[in-house]
Structure 1
Amino acid sequence: MNLAIYCGSAFGNSKIYEEQAILLAKKLSKNNINIVYGGSKQGIMGIISNESLKLNNNVIGVITFDLASKELENENLSTIFKVETINQRKAKMEELSDGFIALPGGYGTFDEIFDVISSAQIGYHKKPCAFLNINGYYDKLKEFLENCAKEGFIKQEHVDMLIFSDNIDDLLKQILDYKAPKAKWEK
């Protein structure tokens, strides 16, 4: 099984983000789950990829030529795919992955996870989309999405399909037990 990990190229302002990324790497390795991620050695991305490699886990990176040329590429990865654009990067990561986990991150992380959530809602894939809610990072996002459903812009089942947990074991169990809802336009 391959899980895409979307996370920050920064470290964040609390050590807990790094600690949880290391713990996630350990739990994924223990469960023989490989990592697909953005290929960088920066921030939390570097932490989870390097920790996974130390544990002899398979780590697949997908990075743009531009980002690789800026010396951001983790050159120790099991496999690296280089692509021209961010959209190609997202598409390749989706293709290679059986599910998706967003750790805390910024615009890139949000873009990546919402891209696969949107595809899941439409029915282009039936893979789980999860948020590792470290330090309550995604509490306000979950609240916002609930409000979107309340206001009639997202179906409640497409909010409920998202996995939010601050516990890695619980998150992985929900991913493994995931059943996709009907697609938005499916009768």
Structure 2
Amino acid sequence: MNVAIYCGSSFGNDKIYEEQTKVLAQKLALKKLNIVYGGSLQGLMGIVSNESLKCNNSVTGVITFDLINKELENKNLTKIYRVNNMDERKAKMEELSDAFIAIPGGYGTFDEIFDVITAAQIGYHKKPCAFFNINGYYDKLLDFLRNCVNEGFIKKEYVDMLIVSDDIDEIIEKILNYNAPKDKWQN
């Protein structure tokens, strides 16, 4: 099974992000859940890839040609795909992955996880989407999503389908036992 990890090319302001990213990589390796990620050595991306490789886990990177030099492509990966643009990067990562986990990151992380959440809602895939909520990083986002439900713009089941925890063991268990909701346009 391949799990896409969406995360920052920065480290964040608290060491807990690096520490918990290492734990994530270690626990996924123990369960033989391979990593698919953005191919960089920078920030949490570098932590998750290098820690996974230390644990003898398979790591596949997907990086755009123009980001190879900017993000310093990790040359030690099990496999690397080089693509033309961010849309191709997201599509390739989705194609290669059986589940998706967002850990702390910025706009790129949000774009990637919301792209696959939207695809799940519409029924383009039935793969689990998770937030590893390190240090409460996603608390305010989850409050916002619940407000979207209250305001009638997202159905509750499409917020409830998200796997959210600060415990990676719980996330892994829920990914392995995931049952997708009906897609938005299904009767």
Bin for the TM-score computed over the shorter chain? over 0.9
TM-score, normalising length: structure 1: 0.99
The whole-number CA distance in structure 1 between the counterparts of 2:163 and 2:65 is 32
The CA distance in 2 between the partners of 1:165 and 1:71, in whole Å, is 29
Q: Which residue of 2 aligns with 1:145?
A: 145
Aligned-pair identity (%)? 71
Q: Write out aligned runs for 1:83-98 (5 A).
A: 83-98=83-98
- The offset of 1:93, in angstroms, is 0.1
For the pair 1:10 / 2:18, whether they are aligned, the reply is no
Runs of 4+ in structure 1 over 3 Å off: none
Counterpart position of 2:123 = 123
Aligned residue pair count: 187
**Residues 126 and 71 of structure 1, relative CA distance in 2, 3 Å threshold:** closer
Q: 1:71 Cα shift?
A: 5.5
- Deviation string, structure 1 residues 28-69 (Cα, Å, up to 9, x no partner): 010000000000000000001001011110000000010113
> Over residues 46-100 of structure 1, what are the superposed CA-to-partner deviations in whole Å (9 max), with x where a residue is unaligned?
0010010111100000000101133520011000000000000000000000000
**Structure 1: gaps of 5 or more residues:** none
Distance 2:146 2:61 in 1: 33
Q: Retained in 1: the 8 A contact 2:42–2:71?
A: no
| AA in 1 matched with 2:31 | N
Structure 1 equivalent of residue 54 of structure 2? 54
Task: Give distance in 2, aligned partners of 1:131 and 1:146.
Answer: 15
Q: Deviations over 1:90-143 (max 9, x none)?
A: 000000000000000000000000000000000000000000000000001111
What are the within-5 Å matches in structure 2 for residues 160-175 of structure 1?
160-175=160-175
1:104 pairs with 2:71: no
Secondary structure of the corresponding residue to residue 164 of structure 1: strand
Shift of 1:8: 0.3
In structure 2, the partner of 1:76 is 76
Which residue in the other structure is 1:65 paired with? 65
When normalised by structure 2's length, the TM-score is 0.99
Alpha-carbon distance in structure 1 between the residues aligned to 2:70 and 2:148: 39
Q: Give the residue type in structure 2 aligned to 1:150.
A: N
What is the match of residue 28 of structure 2?
Answer: 28
What CA distance in whole angstroms lies between the structure 2 residues aligned with 1:186 and 1:148? 21
Q: Secondary structure at the match of 2:127?
A: coil
CA distance in 1, matches of 2:120, 2:3: 15
- Aligned-partner residue type, residue 170 of structure 2: D
Distance in 2 separating the partners of 1:61 and 1:170: 25
